[in-house]
Structure 1
Amino acid sequence: MNDVAPNGSTPTAHSRALRDPAPTRRPLMLCLSHLRWGFVYQRPQHVMSRLAQSYDVLFFEEPLFADHVEPQLLTSQPTQGVTVLVPQLPAGVPHERVIALQRELLDAYLAEHRHDELLLWYLTPMSLAFTDHLQARVTIFDCMDELSAFMGAPPELIERERQLLARADVVFTGGHSLWEAKRHQHANAHAMPSSVDIAHFAQARELLPDPTDQATIGHPRLGFFGVIDERFDIQLVDELARQRPQWQIVLIGPVVKIDPQTLPRRANIHYLGGKQYSDLPRYLAGWEVALMPFAINASTRFISPTKTPEYLAGGRPVVSTPITDVINDYGDSGVVSIADTPAAFIAAVEHALGAEARDSVLAQADAALNGMSWDKTCAAMKEQIECLR
């Protein structure tokens, strides 16, 4: 956990006297998240920023802990219609007290900012511990991933998910394979795969200036952007770099939940750290091939990587390990190659670097992306919610 307030945060003391304003007319969408708004711009930010056109969105994050502080909410407004709430709690507080303080802070905020109608959107079942008393017109479980399979998942998560599935009015899943698993657990489950902002990433098809930290890296470049964690196939990347030292591997994203010392270190592997979402097309424009070197393990069994359509919108051929949703959604596209061994991965990259592949990649990418957009996905989500209101 970080112990620093997000940029632009303003503390709201729990002890502040509550006002009694008239309720607002727009419904309140309370999104309970295990991911921070400012971490990596992905599905929650895309969805909530669009739903904010119809609802007042509160994005409630996990607590920050600091020494010698009073319990309070840190608030910020990263985009129009979205307010981020982060509980700041004293370090060393017992777990039961952490739950109670989150409940108290949230209840106080809701009492001060009254709405006629409350909608609950859960990204993590763990938030049920301090929200199970709230009465919502509609309860939504957006099951992005199989969180219980991730490193460090709390042991009670499976039971919390069972409880949430019993309470939820509708369940969205981050991909089709996860929907196949959840549709047997909920009668109103819908596959809502993560989509893409095509116009944003299509900038990478133009001749863009290289970012400073990438400009000195040679070609050909093979690139990856995303979180580097237990889903990342360290051995595959190391072998790729070892066998093809002339290829430059550019890795963009934060390293979390794994020891950075375990990552491969070679002259042709370049770790550039996390980048702003707005800057990603400039990096992508300088790559010849985009990579998805995911390990095949429990944490990747149900993933539906958002970066697949983002890479394609940028006009780059993709080479991926055999992730089920990637195979099913893009395996026949002609622009996404699936490789299950280091040798097959190298062969797929060599093919993608070929002149013939470059000539056809844009048309194949456009065909694979036909009809996709975050606007369309969010409209389908909103339709389901409105049917339940």
Structure 2
Amino acid sequence: MRRDIVLVSTAEWHHPFWTNKQHTALALARQGCRILYVDSLGLRKPSANSRDLFRIGRRLLRGLRLPEQVHEGIWVCSPLVIPAARWGLIQRCNKLILRLYLYICQFYLRFKSPMLWTYNPLALRLVNSRNYSKLIYHCVDDIAAQPGMDSPQIIVWERLLCESADIVFVTSKNLLDARIEWNPATYYYPNVIDLSYFNSVVQGKAVDPPSSLARIPGPRLLFVGAISSYKVNFDLLRDLAVLRPQWSIVLIGAIGEGDPQTDIRLLADLSNVYYLGPKAYSDLLSYMVCCDIGLLPCRLNQYTSNMFPMKFLEYLASGLPVVSTVLPSLSEYRSFYDECKSASDFVDAIERILTGKTIFDHRAVHDLLISHTYESRTVKMLKKIDGVHEG
């Protein structure tokens, strides 16, 4: 049975750092679905920094085009809407523009009875869900807890979305506990991994490290992700770097992604902290397999308490032991990583790993990873959707 799906994302398809949304679209396409991937509609009010201005300019260019086919079964569109609109007139204009644009795109692609699959908690404010055969809400983060968001509005509309959805999927137990009160058809499917890609890279682990990494002495402790103050505990990283100056802390990612006010000057004077900048997904694993330990030095707050870090499984798949702060979403995976509450805990855990006192159980990790793939999760989700339909 062919499924046509309008997937309303909170991330742009062409963004170099892929998230759940792009990977899920690919996995759905591999199951025979046709996807109209709708780029982020702008939940956060843009700032005047160069990154946001570049995105605005790119959106203006793409917003005048018909959907672009980027993969077999996947087309991407970038509607022209005003981000984070709060005035009633602008919201009504956004709604009219988006609905008309999506109608044109679906007509162009000859979609029939499409489902609406959304990551955007404000979807009902912009899209008429009655025009779709099913409404699916895939909740992967507590977006209202992110900096710069209109949290009161998001909370109200997200509850309406959950109550209206035919089915809700969540990626952490904390998200499940909150959303199931709004919709009993809420199901927990944790984050997963593109295992085929990781296997292809890890098999070539003997290759030389990238030049920017080769100059960094070992042992190399790696953090990959958004280097943002609401996610990363910079105080913990600084303490770790000071306590063990012979260790190299390698940071890969964009500074201030999702939080333009991020300030990393706390780490600037540390000679053993290396910032390598963002890397494309296709290049990232050559860095990961040439490091020694994967770090998750997460700040503890409302956002991270609901977050299942995608890098947890990716570290494991690249052969890296993982050391992390205490995250509720990882509680059921405690046998696969070292859980720490302080910088001194991090030091102890890392020393046990580096001296061989903590053993990396490759067989157990392999068994975990093969049960946590995008393919397996997508099949389960589609079966769950079909079960709702049949019921």
Report the TM-score when normalising by structure 1: 0.85
Question: Do 1:30 and 1:60's aligned partners in 2 also have CA atoms closer than 8 Å?
Answer: yes
**Which deviations, in whole Å up to 9, do the C-alpha atoms of 1:332-355 show, x marking residues without a partner?**
x1x400000111111111112112
Which position in structure 2 is the counterpart of 1:277?
281
Whole-angstrom distance in 2 between the partners of 1:37 and 1:280: 18
Change in Cα spacing, 1:181 to 1:90, as seen in structure 2 (3 Å) is closer
Secondary structure of the residue aligned to 2:35 is strand
Whole-angstrom distance in 2 between the partners of 1:45 and 1:62: 12
**Which deviations, in whole Å up to 9, do the C-alpha atoms of 1:177-219 show, x marking residues without a partner?**
3212222221111101111123322433621221122111110
Question: Do 2:321 and 2:360's aligned partners in 1 also have CA atoms closer than 8 Å?
Answer: no
Whole-angstrom distance in 2 between the partners of 1:104 and 1:216: 53
Q: How does 1:236-275 map to 2 (within 5 A)?
A: 236-255=236-255, 256=257, 257-263=259-265, 264-265=267-268, 266-275=270-279
Whole-angstrom distance in 1 between the partners of 2:58 and 2:112: 37
2:20 maps to 1:43: yes
Whole-angstrom distance in 2 between the partners of 1:188 and 1:352: 42
Letter in 2 for 1:262: I
Which position in structure 2 is the counterpart of 1:212?
211
2:195 maps to 1:198: yes
2:98 maps to 1:102: yes
CA RMSD of aligned residues (A): 2.5
Letter in 2 for 1:51: L
Secondary structure of the residue aligned to 1:125 is coil
Whole-angstrom distance in 2 between the partners of 1:297 and 1:232: 11
Which position in structure 2 is the counterpart of 1:58?
36
2:179 maps to 1:182: yes
Percent of pairs with identical residues:
26
Which position in structure 2 is the counterpart of 1:168?
165
Q: How does 1:1-389 map to 2 (within 5 A)?
A: 26-39=2-15, 40-53=17-30, 54-63=32-41, 65-66=56-57, 72-73=64-65, 75-88=67-80, 95-96=90-91, 97-132=93-128, 134-154=130-150, 155-202=152-199, 203-204=201-202, 206-229=205-228, 230-255=230-255, 256=257, 257-263=259-265, 264-265=267-268, 266-326=270-330, 328-331=331-334, 333=335, 335-357=336-358, 360-369=360-369, 371-389=371-389
Offset of 1:368 from its aligned partner? 4.1
Q: Which runs of 5+ in 2 are unaligned?
A: 42-54
Question: Do 1:125 and 1:164's aligned partners in 2 also have CA atoms closer than 8 Å?
Answer: yes
Offset of 1:161 from its aligned partner? 0.7
Offset of 1:370 from its aligned partner? 5.3
Q: Which of the two has greater strand per residue? A: 1
Question: Do 2:308 and 2:329's aligned partners in 1 also have CA atoms closer than 8 Å?
Answer: yes
Whole-angstrom distance in 1 between the partners of 2:240 and 2:70: 39
Offset of 1:67 from its aligned partner? 11
Whole-angstrom distance in 1 between the partners of 2:2 and 2:195: 30
Greater Cα shift, 296-305 or 32-41: 32-41
Secondary structure of the residue aligned to 1:52 is helix
Letter in 2 for 1:289: I
Whole-angstrom distance in 2 between the partners of 1:74 and 1:252: 34
Letter in 2 for 1:377: R
Whole-angstrom distance in 2 between the partners of 1:381 and 1:67: 33
Whole-angstrom distance in 1 between the partners of 2:59 and 2:262: 31
Q: How many residues align?
A: 361
Secondary structure of the residue aligned to 2:78 is strand
Q: Which of the two has greater helix per residue? A: 2
Q: Which runs of 5+ in 1 are unaligned?
A: 1-24
Offset of 1:68 from its aligned partner? 12
**Which deviations, in whole Å up to 9, do the C-alpha atoms of 1:342-379 show, x marking residues without a partner?**
1111111111211243x544244335435222211111
**Which deviations, in whole Å up to 9, do the C-alpha atoms of 1:231-251 show, x marking residues without a partner?**
111111111112211111111
Change in Cα spacing, 1:294 to 1:162, as seen in structure 2 (3 Å) is same
Offset of 1:324 from its aligned partner? 0.7
Question: Do 1:30 and 1:119's aligned partners in 2 also have CA atoms closer than 8 Å?
Answer: yes
